[in-house]
Amino acid sequence: MNLNLDFFTLRSIFYLLKPSETYFDKVENVPDFTSRAFNVFFSFIIIEQIILVYRKRKIMFRLNDTISSLSAGMISIFPNFYFRKLHLVTYIWCFDKFNIYSLKYDSFWTYLVTFLLVDMAYYWLHRAAHEVNLFWAAHQTHHSSEEYNITTALRQSIFQAYGGWIFYLPLSLFIPPSIFLVHVHLNVIYQFWIHTEIVDNLGFLELILNTPSHHRVHHGRNPYCIDKNYAGVLIIWDKLFGTFEAEKDDEQLAYGLVHPLKTWDPIHAQIFNYKYIFKKFRKCATWSERFGVLFKGPGWLMGTPRLGIRENLPKIKYPIKKYNVEVETWKNWYIGLHFVFTLMIFTILPKIRQNKEPFLITLNICYTLLCLTCYGKLLYNKKSAINYEMFRLMINVLVCILNAPLIQIFMFQSNILFYIFTALNTLSFLAFFIIVLITYSKV
Ligand SMILES: [Zn+2]
Ligand SMILES: [Zn+2]
């Protein structure tokens, strides 16, 4: 397996590339910084957990929340296997049609101007994602975790990309698509490492940069945190446009949604707010109310200001109680192990795509979705979970047979490792089957 754990990728996560390393004349030549960075993020997840265990002397890891976050991250990438990214397609189209003057791609000034403008566009995009209910319906997925760690960063919405592209279009008047793409990548991946509680305060950098401390406030559901700190890389935009709020030392943060999402179902986590908006929309009596439901803030009600009334927000109750469902230890191990298998299959999807195998891509995406749904149901002890898992067991045989050569070639490049993977997969399924059989026969 090529883990891409090189120093260049590591520096790219912190936006520490020299301008000359970002000069690409064509979109096709721009590396996929985001995909390359994923392996580093997985290393960060492990390092963060080790540090947390060392500091707090107890395991801080919640399997249900972690799987929920990673599942959302995987689902959000599915459309990329079929379509080019919407923000890039629309940007190139606008650049071809409306470009007034194209800045030189290999200039420090182009680097600087693009860095600032992409970051400012991200600020407004993110602000709209919080302050316009229809956009919030997508972005709430990212905020639905009650934990705040590196895995939270990967919790993304499948729908967010379809609203955000508009904010970048003005840049196409003079910035070449290749340079725009570089900075969109760097802007996005910079924001991953700031999802952590292990970094406290970064001194003078807090004045300029978006830091873990500033972004913790953004994820807080304490009333003082709502609609604050929208920054991507530079916190200066929040200070400039009046949305900055510093972290308070004397108030413990509660993370997640104001009305927490009480489920581990990965599909529900993506769509539940659309359902809620649809219900609210149908009950509206007037068109001004309907407009408000779609385009004003999520906290808006008839007769209130655009973003609702801050004083009406529910106060945090201490000690903070997070949504949790206790499941048997063996089930946690089983879900954890199979989630790793699913993750492994997921990592070969880009290779299958390069091989132009649309049937296999679709099969694997459907199978991955089924796996994630099963884990979600098992994690909150849904009655139907066992039936779902049995169905997955049957499908798994077919998927394994069809994927076997690809898994062998792309993932392991070694027969022994492949056999270990297959044996573990099959044996754990059999173990599950037997445990369920014994449990059912006792009832
Ligand atoms: Zn946000
Ligand atoms: Zn975030």
Query: What pLDDT is recorded for position 411?
Result: 60
How many angstroms separate the alpha carbon of residue 222 from the centre of ligand 2?
A: 15
d(CA 234, CA 3): 29
How many angstroms separate the alpha carbon of residue 115 from the centre of ligand 1? 20
Look-up of token digits 């581990």: 264
Query: For 155, which DSSP code?
Result: -
Centre of ligand 2 to C-alpha 323, Å, is 19
Q: Measured between alpha carbons, how far is 345 from 407 in angstroms, rounded to an integer?
A: 7
Tokens of 21: 């390393």
Q: What is the domain partition of the chain in residue ranges?
A: 7-241, 329-442
139 CA distance to ligand 1 centroid (A)? Answer: 7
Ligand 1 centroid distance, CA of 138 (Å): 10
Taking only the tens of pLDDT, the chain with its 443 residues reads: 445 568 899 999 999 999 999 999 999 999 999 988 988 898 999 999 999 998 876 677 899 999 999 999 999 999 988 887 888 999 999 999 999 999 999 999 999 999 999 999 999 999 999 999 999 999 999 999 999 999 999 999 999 888 889 999 999 999 999 999 999 999 999 999 999 999 999 999 999 999 999 999 999 999 999 999 999 999 999 999 999 999 999 999 999 999 988 899 999 999 999 999 999 999 998 999 999 999 999 999 988 999 999 888 888 999 999 999 999 898 899 999 899 889 888 888 887 777 777 888 898 899 999 999 999 999 988 888 888 988 888 888 778 777 776 666 656 556 666 677 777 777 877 887 787 777 766 65
**Interval between CA 230 and ligand 2 midpoint (Å):** 9
> Separation of 150 CA from ligand 2 center, angstroms?
9
The CA-based dihedral angle spanning residues 192, 195, 201, 202, taken in that order and rounded to the nearest 10 degrees: 0
Identify whether the C-beta of residue 375 lies closer than 8 Å to the C-beta of residue 388: no
Q: Which ligand places an atom closest to the C-alpha of 136?
A: 1
- What per-residue confidence (pLDDT) applies to 1? 44
- Taking the centre of ligand 1 as the mean of its atom positions, its distance from the CA of residue 218, in whole angstroms, is 7
pLDDT at residue 443, rounded to an integer: 57
Reference 221, options 168, 146, 286; nearest CA is 146
CA atoms within 13 A on the CB side of 428: 21
Helices (H), 83-148: 86-98, 108-131, 133-143
What is d(CA 22, CA 38) in angstroms, rounded to the nearest whole number? Answer: 19
Ligand nearest to the CA of 212: 2
Q: Please report which ligand is nearest the Cα atom of 230.
A: 1
Measure 227 CA to ligand 1 centroid, in angstroms. 8
CA nearest neighbour of 180 among 232, 126, 119, 101: 119
For tokens 């991955």, the residue is: 368
Residue 442 Cα to chain centre, angstroms: 41
Please report where in the chains the tokens 């699913």 appear, as a residue: 342
How many angstroms does the Cα of residue 222 sit away from the middle of ligand 1?
14
CB 150 within 8 A of CB 193: yes
Ligand nearest to the CA of 148: 2
Run of H or E including 271: helix 266-283
Q: Answer whether 258's CB lies under 8 Å from 224's CB.
A: no
Supply φ then ψ for residue 237, to 5 degrees: -65, -40
The CA 195 to ligand 1 mean position distance, Å, reads 12
C-beta separation of 297 from 313 below 8 A = no
Ligand that lies nearest to the alpha carbon of residue 228, given by its number in the listed order: 1
- H helices of 132-265, in order, are 133-143, 150-154, 161-164, 177-190, 212-219, 236-241
Which pLDDT value is given to residue 401?
75
